Structure 1
Amino acid sequence: MKRSLDGFPKIEVNTQRKEGKALKKEFFRKERDLLGEEAIPENAYWGVHSKRARDNFPFSKKVPPSLVKAYFAVKWACARANLEVGLLEAKIGNAILKACEEGMEGKFNEEVIVPIFQGGAGTSLNMNINEIIANRALEILGYSKGNYQKINPFDHVNLSQSTNDTFMTAVKVATLWQLDELEKEIINLQETLQQKEKEFASVLKVGRTELQDAVPITLGMEFGAFAEAIARDRWRLWKSRERIKEVNLGGTAVGTGLNAHPEYIARAIVHLNEITGLPLAKAMNLFENTQNLDVFSEVSGLLRSLAVNLRKIANDLRLLSMGPRAGISEISLPALQEGSSIMPGKVNPVMCEYIEGIAIDVMGKDQAIAFSCSSGQLELNHLGPFIAAHILEMIEELKLGINAFTEKCLRGIRANQERCNELLEKSFALATCIVPYLGHERTSELVQECLREGKNFRDFLIEQKIFSEEELKNILNPLEISRPGIPGFGKVEVKRP
């Protein structure tokens, strides 16, 4: 057995490597917990607690980088507060702060070896972060990793804390950061739809209810409705931040603040706002805030509402672009890739299908979050890691999906104005517009007569000398049709018997 310069023991192990036929020596350190000893690779910043968690939880979905960064930020704020109230020695505290700053930069993301799906309410991730910080701080001060008599993951890094206040605080920080990023994409989406609303404002077409011809509308009106729905989602998510910003940091195990200095509690959140740039606030009731995670169910529900609207928009676009020859084909979507391995020339609406799949996945995760939030018992919700995994993944999926949908699909949509006119002329959408001039019964009779003769309704009305071409032009003015009132009123004579 060898020893490091500070006397900490190393274990020497020979392992076969694919580097020619040479044997390479690897060194391990021994770490102990209440269950016994484990050999940890000498260069690893993680320790025995991380190893046990990695071995126990086999589904290896990685911890989201935003949560890793947020957890290092929480630890930085706690260390700063502990330093200021005199609970941490300056040398140790400054080394911990430096390690946390490096962690926020992403230097130790690969050292987070525990999966996000884990039992224990997040204790495994908390200890993984604690061990990384402790070992990096030891390294900064010139000690060997694992020399926890000098800097301890529990007594120094986790000082004044519990998993139960740091974990969910980190999740809220990560959620708020991610919501900021999502909002940028929602704004871009909304503005793109509004641009299309203006671009297509004069494109008259058939409106449809229950997939049947209804009344004339403009293509711009359809895109305006899409934009309004997305604007509503944007407002909902913005309002939800008010409740997410309340954190239980300083509450320690159950929200009572046991083993946390009163001044530390006040300072920790101030420093967390400083390092994160967020307006976090101490929860009015730390005990309640530790118990209940319903705010994540609320935010999840609002993300589900966004997904609902995205799915509706995507499917409407698929219908409107259906064809190109044998369908509605009132719009053309950008051609992105070949759509068939057997049918030549086929191009599918892949971005609409992509965003619909994401929307459905988000709806499913919302259900998982609802069940998880309702599964908390007494003073703690043990399923916090699953809630964290789902909420952060939902936001990330939506952020990336909306960006791709906006840039690769919506921006390139073109109106097929000739097709819109053709379908409008073939339909009886015009019939509703002339009811104020002829009455419902007379208009119905004309529709049936026109159907029997197989004629175009506009041509039929002109042929029967019921309206002139100029009168019908006034009635079908896009500006008239897209606002309340009788289209052409004052310009067209009422012709009821």
Structure 2
Amino acid sequence: MRTRTEADSIGVMEVPAEAYYGVQALRAKENFPITHQQLHPEFIKSMAKLKKAAAITNRDAGLLPLNIASAIMKACDDLIAGKFTDAFIVDAIQGGAGTSANMNANEVIANRAIEILGGTKGDYSLVHPNDHVNMAQSTNDIIPSAGKLTAITLLGDAIKELHRLYEALMDKAEEFDSILKMGRTQLQDAVPMRLGQSFHAYASVIHRDLLRLEDATHTLEMLNMGGTAIGSSINVSPLYLKNICKNLNKITKGNFYLADDLFDATQNLDGFVSVSGVLKTCAVNLSKMCNDLRLLSSGPKTGIGEINLPARQNGSSIMPGKINPVIPEVVSQVAFNIIGHDYTITMAAEAGQLELNAFEPVIFYTLFESIETLGHAAQTLTDNCILGITANEKHCKDLVNASAGIATALCPSIGYAASAALAKESLKTDVPVRELAIAKGYVTTEEADKLLDPYTMTGKRYAKVDYYACRKAVTQG
């Protein structure tokens, strides 16, 4: 294999002659054999978008020659289009606060730009990774900014899947609205409710999660581009600071803006902690819902068995005909992983010292996985579970009639003590509360019909909440 010799402040190394990466990326590959996973493809694109915006801004400031700026911009466009990802050889988790990732991007863009200008890879006299591609930048503003761009993109996909889940839950709430079932507290019979109300409650909490995720997305729009090493904007022109976000927004169609305090924005990563916290909250809600689905479908003959989940695969290698709730199970496992990632992100953000946090690589590695797996979990929950759920209406009604819980509805008419006595006797004799109340003369048949009417006992119907209208109202204050 032909090689070229490249040098850095540590020494010299032989780099494959046709490689787009350079000595610093190669050294990082040797230093960090941690996850054996590449940088996230979207993160690579985000760095390229930032580098392109920087090249445009430096060109307009008269600091970057037109031909070099043009070549850098074309090289960045290649990366944005998904090309040359195999040239990113550094591990997703790395020491140095992301310097290796930044230099890998600088080297690839420089060598591609050299190629565009007709030169030979490694001839940095034409386009230099530091002097030209990294002009007016530092790892310490590029990496956190790329993390924010990436998270926003991934959150958009997750939000779409959660909205589909919300709509599916609302449809089930409508479908099951007339089905009476037993509500339960602490796993014991409580009072009657409608099955549709259960699903409306699930939809309501997903609706809140959607609003929280939208808000979290906006917290990531503040960037520290131009802060360079610590926030002092050393080696940055005033024109760059004024226009870097404007040029970035033209490339991304985003709403990014420069932080008022670049020192703060460089050293503090609370925005990522906030986003992770919202992801954790959503994960908790999804897992709680899935616990409910497993309980409500349990049995199906010896458990609660009020609903049927779609059969997705054999549930046992030894028990014929056994079907397990595999979709809710996998969603809960995703939730456990996200909750663990939140702790990692929390500790990594807390561990920063003075003017920089060195632990962004592990934050992004875990955060991106949390966002993506949350969206994937929502997708499989919607398509492979919620849409196919059916109700066992007669069984739901039989359980209500057999429960002593409906005695609560009689309390306003006959008092707590008499109602409690009826409930106790019903549990002992298996005679329904309704029959006992009529037989003992507490209520007439007509009064019992009125007091124990499903909609009297279970309250109002809930209207469907329009997520997008609610989002617009919140946005407009």
- Aligned residue number for residue 47 of structure 2: 71
Partner Cα separation in structure 2 for residue 480 and residue 404 of structure 1: 36
Paired position in structure 2 for 1:14: none
Q: In the superposition, relative to structure 1, how do residues 109 and 476 fare at CA in structure 2: closer, same or farther (>3 Å)?
A: farther
Query: Can you list the C-alpha shifts for 1:206-261, whole angstroms capped at 9, x where unaligned?
Result: 10000000000111111111111111111112122332111000111111110011
Give the aligned partner of residue 394 of structure 1: 370
Q: Distance in 1 between matches of 2:242 and 2:142?
A: 15
CA distance in structure 1 between the aligned counterparts of 2:449 and 2:180, rounded to whole angstroms? 12
Cα distance in 2 for partners of 1:189, 1:385 equals 31
Does 2:11 match 1:36?
yes
Could you list the per-position Cα deviations for residues 432-488 of structure 1 after superposition, in whole angstroms to 9, with x for gaps in the alignment?
01111211111222223333333233333344454455443333333222327xxxx
> Which of residues 223, 226, 238 in structure 1 aligns to 2:214?
238
- Deviation per CA, 1:368-404: give whole Å up to 9, x if none: 0010000110000000111111111110110111111
CA distance in 1, matches of 2:205, 2:443: 38
| Aligned 1:159-178 pairs, distance under 5 A | 159-178=135-154
Q: Within 5 Å, give how 1:35-54 maps onto structure 2.
A: 35-54=10-29
TM-score w.r.t. the length of structure 2 is 0.94
State the match for 1:102 in structure 2. 78
Report the Cα distance in structure 1 between the residues aligned to 2:156 and 2:46, rounded to whole angstroms: 14
Question: 1:192, CA displacement in angstroms?
Answer: 1.2
The separation in 2 between residues aligned to 1:213 and 1:233, in whole angstroms, is: 29
Q: 1:258 maps to what in 2?
A: 234
Tell me which of 98, 113, 129 is aligned to 1:137: 113
- 1:416 pairs, out of 383, 392, 404, with 392
- Structure 1 residue 61: deviation in Å? 2.5
Q: Give, in whole Å, the separation in 2 of the partners of 1:164 and 1:366.
A: 22
Q: 1 CA distance for matches of 2:97 and 2:249?
A: 24
Q: Deviations over 1:179-226 (max 9, x none)?
A: 111111121111111111111111101100000000001111111111
Q: Deviations over 1:274-305 (max 9, x none)?
A: 11111000001011110111111111111111
Segment of structure 1 superposing worse, 49-58 or 452-461: 452-461
CA distance in 2, matches of 1:396, 1:344: 35
Aligned length: 459
Distance 1:432 1:242 in 2: 47
2:280 paired with 1:293: no
Query: Which one has a larger percent helix, Structure 1 or Structure 2?
Result: 2
TM-score by length of 1: 0.90
For 2:84, give the aligned amino acid.
Answer: F
CA contact (8 A) 2:404 2:427 kept: no
Give the distance between the partners of 2:21 and 2:343, measured in 1 at CA.
Answer: 34
| Superposition pairs of residues 72-221 of structure 1, within 5 angstroms | 72-221=48-197
Offset, 1:62: 2.0
Long gaps (5+) in structure 1: 1-25, 485-497
Corresponding position: 1:315 with 2:291: yes
Q: Which residue of 1 aligns with 2:469?
A: none
CA distance in 2, matches of 1:33, 1:88: 23
Structure 2 CA distance, aligned partners of 1:252 and 1:328?
Answer: 60
The Cα RMSD (Å) is 1.3
2:408 corresponding residue in structure 1 = 432
2: CA distance, partners of 1:197 / 1:310: 17
- Distance, in Å, in 1 between the alignment partners of 2:440 and 2:234 is 89
What secondary structure, in the 3-state scheme, does the structure 1 residue paired with 2:182 have?
strand
Distance 1:472 1:42, change over 3 A: farther
366, 380, 383: which is aligned to 2:359? 383
